[in-house]
């Protein structure tokens, strides 16, 4: 059994981690911590766990001492010190925050306004997009779990960029997320009277996921890729839907594009390329680790429109983190993640 600990377990992503890990046959949750709620039972925060997971929130040190696999679900700037301890003790570390996602410190400084505390540590990091970086993840000890928006976008674009069938280097992306994507702390935008029965863009041309998206898309394409990225806030609890607009090369047919997507993902359990004519809908990925992709062709402009949907708390956070853990321990990649989305 893998002895698992969770630092920052009182937030939404932390709660998703132990909700999913409780169904994992190879995991024993040893300790969970929270600086804000130390000493409280987790069922005091999330009553759905009452009588089934009545574990007390402890301090970070207890997690680091007793667990061998550490998940950190923390705001940016807080995970490096825990990764350092894990590295020194030979423990595996998966960061659900932003500290190990970017390849270059200058990008982290620009977008997150922080320096690296331990620059050498970042030479060991692997970007945890499971379907794309599987072999590197298997050998890694420090994983930067992808952001939720980037997961939906990079999986949606991977086959296209891998085969170099896009015409331009600039891609337009509209993404929409449920309110859990903003975290548990209340903000003006997520205050119920503001977000209920509303739908609005935010952080236009300035969202912190932008450099992560461009970084990973550029690696997939082996050339510089720029994005115009606009996120929106949906008045729902969970789910992300990304609509992506790409001009195709003149020599590429719509039929060839669909065939490329089907072949790229035919052996990927968690990525479902929908039949032509179907439209991906966030309703049918909620509470699951699936990414549903639908492809649409605008014949007037020879343009591909990609719709990619995930649950931001599962495939966009805790589920992908567990998928990465399974890879790191050479387990069945699907273990603990076999839930099927509800249909209504």
Catalytic residue among 86, 148, 195, 291: 148
Count other Cβ atoms within 10 Å, centred on residue 224: 10
CA atoms within 13 Å, Cβ hemisphere of 95: 30
CA-based nearest residue to 31, from 6, 52, 49: 6
Tokens encoding 179? 């309110």
- Long-range Cβ pairs for the range 185-192 (8 Å, 24+): 189/233, 190/233
Count other Cβ atoms within 10 Å, centred on residue 52: 8
Q: Is 291 labeled as catalytic in the residue annotation? A: no
Catalytic residues: 148
């Amino acid at each position: 059994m893998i002895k698992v600990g969770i630092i920052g377990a009182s937030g939404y992503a932390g709660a998703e981690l132990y909700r999913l890990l409780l169904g994992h046959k190879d995991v024993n949750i040893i300790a969970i911590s929270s600086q804000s709620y130390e000493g409280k039972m987790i069922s005091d925060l999330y009553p759905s766990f009452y009588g089934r997971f009545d574990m007390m929130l402890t301090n970070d040190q207890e997690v680091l001492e007793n667990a061998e696999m550490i998940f950190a679900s923390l705001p940016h700037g807080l995970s490096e010190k825990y990764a350092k301890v894990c590295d020194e003790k030979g423990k595996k570390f998966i960061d659900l925050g932003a500290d190990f996602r970017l390849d270059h410190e200058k990008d982290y400084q620009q977008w997150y306004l922080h320096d690296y505390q331990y620059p050498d540590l970042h030479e060991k990091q692997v970007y945890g997009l499971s379907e794309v970086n599987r072999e590197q993840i298997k050998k890694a000890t420090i994983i930067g779990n992808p952001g939720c928006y980037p997961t939906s976008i990079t999986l949606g674009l991977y086959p296209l960029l891998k085969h170099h069938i896009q015409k331009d280097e600039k891609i337009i992306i509209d993404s929409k997320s449920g309110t859990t994507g903003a975290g548990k702390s209340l903000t003006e935008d997520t205050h119920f009277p503001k977000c209920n029965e509303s739908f609005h863009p935010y952080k236009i041309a300035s969202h912190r996921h932008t450099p992560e998206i461009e970084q990973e898309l550029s690696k997939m394409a082996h050339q510089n890729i720029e994005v115009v990225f606009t996120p929106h806030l949906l008045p729902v609890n969970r789910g992300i839907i990304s609509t992506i607009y790409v001009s195709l090369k003149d020599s590429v047919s719509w039929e060839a594009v669909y065939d490329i997507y089907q072949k790229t993902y035919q052996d990927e359990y968690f990525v479902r390329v929908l039949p032509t004519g179907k439209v991906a809908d966030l309703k049918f990925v909620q509470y699951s680790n699936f990414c549903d992709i639908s492809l649409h062709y605008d014949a007037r402009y020879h343009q591909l429109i990609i719709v990619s949907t995930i649950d931001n708390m599962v495939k966009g956070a805790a589920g992908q983190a567990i998928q990465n853990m399974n890879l790191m321990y050479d387990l069945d990649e699907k273990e603990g993640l076999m839930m099927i989305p509800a249909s209504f």
